[in-house]
Amino acid sequence: ELGTSRIQLALASNVALSVIAYVMTRRLIPHFMPMFTKANLFGVDLNKVNPDKSPSTTKVPESLGTITAAVYLVIMFLFIPFYFTPFLLEFDDQKKRFPHGQLEEFICGLLSICCMIFLGFADDVLNLRWRHKMIIPTVGSLPLLMVYFVNGGSTRVIMPLQLRDVVGVHVDLGILYYVYMGMLAVFCTNAINILAGINGIEAGQSLVIALSICVHNGIEIWHDSADHQAHELSLFLMMPFVAVTSALLSFNLWPAKCFVGDTFCYFAGMTFAVSGILGHFSKTMFLFFIPQVINFIFSVPQLFKFVHCPRHRLPRLNKETGLLENSLAVIPADQYRGIGRLFIDVFALFGFISFKKSEKEIVVSNFTFINLVIRILGPTHEHNLAMWILAFQVLCSCLAFYVRYQLVLFFFDGHHDHEEVFHPK
Amino acid sequence: ELGTSRIQLALASNVALSVIAYVMTRRLIPHFMPMFTKANLFGVDLNKVNPDKSPSTTKVPESLGTITAAVYLVIMFLFIPFYFTPFLLEFDDQKKRFPHGQLEEFICGLLSICCMIFLGFADDVLNLRWRHKMIIPTVGSLPLLMVYFVNGGSTRVIMPLQLRDVVGVHVDLGILYYVYMGMLAVFCTNAINILAGINGIEAGQSLVIALSICVHNGIEIWHDSADHQAHELSLFLMMPFVAVTSALLSFNLWPAKCFVGDTFCYFAGMTFAVSGILGHFSKTMFLFFIPQVINFIFSVPQLFKFVHCPRHRLPRLNKETGLLENSLAVIPADQYRGIGRLFIDVFALFGFISFKKSEKEIVVSNFTFINLVIRILGPTHEHNLAMWILAFQVLCSCLAFYVRYQLVLFFFDGHHDHEEVFHPK
Ligand SMILES: [Mg+2]
Ligand SMILES: [Mg+2]
Residues of B in contact with A278 (CB under 8 A): none
**Contact yes or no for A85 and B150 at CB 8 A:** yes
Residues of B in contact with A146 (CB under 8 A): 77-78, 80-81
pLDDT beyond 60 at B422: no
**Contact yes or no for B125 and A121 at CB 8 A:** yes
Select the residue from B33, B42, B84, B118 to test the A interface by mutation, using most A Cβ atoms within 10 A.
B118
CA of B119 relative to ligand 2 center, distance in Å: 10
Question: ipTM for the complex?
Answer: 0.92
Each residue of A290-323: b (16+ CB within 10 Å) or e?
A: bbbbebbebbebbbeebbbbeeebbbbbeeeeeb
**Contact yes or no for A103 and B150 at CB 8 A:** yes
Residues of B in contact with A73 (CB under 8 A): 115, 139
Select the residue from B102, B115, B136, B151 to test the A interface by mutation, using most A Cβ atoms within 10 A.
B115
DSSP for B293-362, please give it: HHHHHHHHHHHTTSS---S--S-EEETTTTEEE--EEEEEGGG--HHHHHHHHHHHHTTSS-EEE-SSEE
Alpha-carbon gap, residue B372 to B331, rounded angstroms:
19
pLDDT beyond 80 at B127: yes
pLDDT at residue A93 in the model: 54
Q: Looking at CA atoms only, how far is residue A97 from chain B in angstroms?
A: 10
Distance of CA A117 to the CA centre of its chain: 14
Q: Identify which of A154-158, A309-313, B88-92, B107-111 has the greatest average pLDDT.
A: B107-111
Residue B348: pLDDT band (50, 70, 90) is very high
**A287, A216 Cβ separation under 8 angstroms:** no
**Contact yes or no for A147 and B107 at CB 8 A:** yes
pLDDT beyond 50 at B421: no
**For residues B72-92, average pLDDT:** 84
**For residues B68-92, average pLDDT:** 86
- DSSP 3-state helix, strand, coil percentages of chain B (rounded to 5)? 65, 10, 25
CA of B128 relative to ligand 2 center, distance in Å: 6
**Contact yes or no for A81 and B127 at CB 8 A:** no
> Which of B35, B96, B101 is opposite residue A126, by nearest beta carbon?
B35
pLDDT at residue B424 in the model: 39
Residues of A in contact with B175 (CB under 8 A): none
Q: Looking at CA atoms only, how far is residue B191 from chain A in angstroms?
A: 24
Alpha-carbon gap, residue A254 to A201, rounded angstroms:
10
List phi, psi (to 5°) of B317.
-80, 130
CA of B73 relative to ligand 1 center, distance in Å: 21
**B8, A96 Cβ separation under 8 angstroms:** no
Q: With CA atoms as reference, report the closest residue to B182 among B236, B136, B122.
A: B136
CA of B120 relative to ligand 1 center, distance in Å: 19
pLDDT at residue A63 in the model: 96
pLDDT at residue A424 in the model: 39
The overall average pLDDT reported for chain B is 89
Strand pairing report for B170-172 and B323-325: unpaired
Which positions ≥6 away from B399 have C-beta within 8 Å? B287, B290
Prior bond of A240 cis (ω within 30°) = no
B27 compared with A153, residue with greater pLDDT: B27
Alpha-carbon gap, residue A155 to B328, rounded angstroms:
66
Residues of chain A with pLDDT under 70: 1-3, 89-97, 152, 413-425
Alpha-carbon gap, residue B247 to B264, rounded angstroms:
13
> Which of A85, A122, A150 is opposite residue B84, by nearest beta carbon?
A150
The CA-based dihedral angle spanning residues A216, A222, A226, A232, taken in that order and rounded to the nearest 10 degrees? 60
Alpha-carbon gap, residue B377 to B73, rounded angstroms:
39
> Which of A38, A126, A149 is opposite residue B36, by nearest beta carbon?
A126
Residues of A in contact with B81 (CB under 8 A): 146, 149-150
pLDDT digits (tens, 9 = 90+) for B240-279: 999 999 999 999 999 999 999 999 999 999 999 999 988 9
> Which of A81, A98, A128 is opposite residue B425, by nearest beta carbon?
A98
DSSP code for A96: G
> Which of A101, A114, A128 is opposite residue B115, by nearest beta carbon?
A114
